[in-house]
Amino acid sequence: MIVAISDKSGRIYSGPEIESFIRYYSLAQSHEWFSCPICGKDVTYHPYSINGDFDYFTHTDGSSDCFQSESVSDEHQVATEFAVKLLYNRIRELTGKPVEINVEKWVGVRENFVITDVRVSSPLQIAAEVFYKVQPLSLTRRLSTMFDNDYRSYLVFHLEGCHDVDKIERHIQQVAPLRIGRFNPDTFELTLGDLFSKDKISLDLFNRELLPNYIV
């Protein structure tokens, strides 16, 4: 994984950020300083990623990376990790409360659910969808399920994915004045955009007819 929680500050940092802290503040390079944002286990920091852009942090007990999945590409995983980092830090700063965050989890019930890339279940209910190579966005189903279960959602698009991100934003703004998030893999910069909620966007029949089929 490329991100981890500092036990000292309670914030999530990326591997490249930790490199800078070590250089400037002589931060100890020990697993006791860091833990996994998903499972809470101790992780070991590696001064240089041992697998390209990945594995700055590994579970100290040797267990599998909580962010890895056979169904998720490396590019999608990195974007998801940075979404976790930004969401966790922002919510912790705003609320001052512990943040329960996870990846690839259900929102809804078996009869009607979606699996979201990032799910914050406490102290707020917020989801983040990270789009990379998926073709149909299915926003009607995804957002309506989120809203029905009292979740609000961020939509984040990988800039090297299969969609024209600016074009998608222009389409969405035909029905609601909302910005979408973006992830730049060259700089690791991630923006969340605006928070989608049922009082800010309606994908009723009238609005759906204004949008391309691959969006709705």
pLDDT in tens, 136-187: 999 999 999 999 999 999 999 999 999 999 999 999 999 999 999 999 999 9
For the chain, the domain total comes to 2
One domain, residues 96 and 42: no
Identify any residues that bridge with 3 across adjacent strands, giving them in sequence order.
14
On whether residue 123 sits in a domain, the answer given is yes
Over residues 112-137, the pLDDT tens digits come to 999 999 999 999 999 999 999 999 99
For residue 31, the model assigns a pLDDT of 43
- Residue 11 inside a domain? The answer is yes
* Domain assignment of residue 64, yes or no: no
| pLDDT above 90 as % of the chain | 81
Q: Is 9 exposed, middle or buried (0-12, 13-18, 19+ CB in 10 A)?
A: exposed
Q: Comparing C-alpha atoms, which of 75, 178, 93, 172 is closest to residue 131?
A: 75
Structural domain containing residue 21: 3-59
Give the whole-number percent of the chain exceeding pLDDT 70: 92
Residue type for 79, please? A
pLDDT at 71: 83
Range with the poorest average pLDDT among 24-33, 94-103, 140-149:
24-33
- Cβ atoms within 10 Å of 212's Cβ, excluding its own: 10
Residues 85 and 157 in one domain: yes
CATH number at residue 162: 3.40.1350
Q: Are residues 22 and 104 in the same domain?
A: no
Task: Supply the pTM of this predicted model.
Answer: 0.92
